[in-house]
Structure 1
């Protein structure tokens, strides 16, 4: 089940810039799509200025979309069953939490330009300030924390070099 962001923000979130903006979605097995995660993130970040917050820098928005997309993709590929995502924008931080039904701790693989696939979690760690994995009896939660304070970047995406 996905609650549209427009409905949620209008019904549950006022214009108090101190209150966190939140969005949550739950998908049945096979229903989650990375594109939905990116769209929800864009909607949340687009709503932020309407609550008195400053607009999120474009480079950070791209990094956040990448993190959300990769986390949801990993949940779909590596965990049977339902999954979900929680986005929260508060203070100077954006958190992206994705939960799934796998109790296996994900491994971050070293970057290897010769390998096809297997780069997602490495990218999430690269664009995030901190990534926390919480294993549970019924699955896991992975939370990417991104600071809203712009960082110096030499080539975009917070300085990462994508495999060619």
Structure 2
């Protein structure tokens, strides 16, 4: 895990306080490992930058990581890359996989078993973007670090 800054504790040239990456081959335990990695990253943010990361933000980050990594491991052959980027207010969860197919959240159907992952991510994230890459695709979900509703100040 690494952080990126200008050496003075301020934001790096890309506007993020910290960033880290994690790669998995998609085998047993990869989802739990990705969740642990995300938790350690946010705990490091609390310690290194004295950021207030709410329990809800930690839970939502773990949920989003679980859903996106699960989908990548289930539907794409090869490695899955997880990247986390932190600002003063948000954490971006980005997952890359080798399948170029862009997923779409389905219409809510309580009778459907499974395939609710993207619906869940869309419901809990401030923002969700899906981009095709030269190889595969990258999904980015943005999660607020505080429990305050968007647009309010604390």
TM-score (norm 1): 0.79
CA distance in 2 between counterparts of 1:31 and 1:143 reads 24
After TM superposition, give the deviation of residue 110 of structure 1 in Å. 1.9
Distance (Å, rounded) in 2 between the aligned partners of 1:23 and 1:32: 19
- Report the secondary structure of 2:40's partner residue: helix
Q: What is the CA–CA distance in structure 1 between the aligned matches of 2:148 and 2:30, rounded to whole Å? A: 29
Match of 1:120 in 2: 117
Correspondence for 1:130: 127
2:53 corresponds to which residue? 56
Deviation at 1:53, TM superposition (A): 2.4
How many residue pairs match? The answer is: 144
Structure 1 residues 102, 32: closer, same or farther in 2, change over 3 A? farther
Q: What is the CA–CA distance in structure 2 between the aligned matches of 1:97 and 1:63, rounded to whole Å?
A: 14
SS in 1 for 2:58: helix
Output the CA distance in 2 between the equivalents of 1:131 and 1:32: 26
For residue 29 of structure 1, report the CA deviation from its aligned partner. Answer: 5.0
Q: Is residue 22 of structure 2 the alignment partner of residue 25 of structure 1?
A: yes
1:30 and 1:82 in contact (8 A); partners too: no
**Structure 2 match to 1:91:** 88
Change (3 A) 1:17 1:43: farther
Runs (4+) of structure 1 moved beyond 3 Å? 12-15, 29-32
- Structure 2: tracts of 5 or more residues without a match: 150-154
Query: Is the contact made by 2:124 and 2:143 (CA closer than 8 Å) also made in structure 1?
Result: yes
Q: Is 2:102 aligned against 1:105?
A: yes
SS of 2:52's partner is coil
Q: Are residues 43 and 30 of structure 1, via their aligned partners in 2, closer, same or farther at CA, if it must alter by over 3 Å?
A: same
Residue 112 of structure 1 aligns to a residue whose secondary structure is coil
Match of 2:152 in 1: none
- 1:160 is matched with which residue? none
Deviates more, 1:18-27 or 1:111-120: 18-27
